[in-house]
Amino acid sequence: MSAEEIKALERRFIEELNKGKAAAMAAIEELCATEFVSHGGTGEDICGIKDFKHDCGEWYRVFPDIHFAIDDMVVEGDKVAVRHTWTGTYKSEFMGIPPTNKKVTVWEIYIDRIADGKFVESWVRYDTLGLMQQLGLILTSEKVNYLAIISYQLKKHIYQGIKIKAFPNYF
């Protein structure tokens, strides 16, 4: 495939993903090889389109309005590197955490390998920390700083003038 054909395949896949879960599942069936492998950041590969569809289905369950926008795309040989941004509203339980209805924006970078007009392999990384911060699962630096100031002020007022023998220099 030419570089332009590979870019068109990638754009088509993203367009189908943006139509919702049913279109995404159909696109995976059509555009991914049966032996497709996704190397993600979790440490475990997703092997085969059945498991890939299950994984993608989970993202649509958690973020039913998920939308992808391609920011950059570069083709070299049979590989395409893509940087995109996705947005979605956190509507369903994720890793035991109840939904917050918060809208998130996450960057993602991946490299897809194409063979015989189909996706056969993908290496994916996304802004996991940013996603967890936006969902309120991890404190942002602003919240950490705020909590540190509050903690300091509490210690100052509660222990003002009091020296504790075990920790004389702590307060």
Domain boundaries, the chain: 3-138, 139-171
Q: pTM of the entire structure? A: 0.77
Q: pLDDT in tens for each of the 171 residues of the chain?
A: 999 999 999 999 999 999 999 999 999 999 999 999 999 877 789 899 999 999 999 999 999 999 999 999 999 999 999 999 999 999 998 878 888 899 999 999 999 999 999 999 999 999 988 888 888 777 666 655 555 555 545 555 455 555 545 545 544
So what's the architecture of 3-138 in CATH?
Roll (3.10)
Residues 6 or more apart whose CB falls under 8 angstroms from that of 156 comprise 171
Q: E-strand spans in the chain? A: 32-39, 45-47, 67-76, 79-89, 103-115, 118-126
Whole-angstrom distance, CA of residue 135 vs CA of residue 89? 10
CB 9 within 8 Å of CB 73: no
Whole-angstrom distance, CA of residue 73 vs CA of residue 167? 58
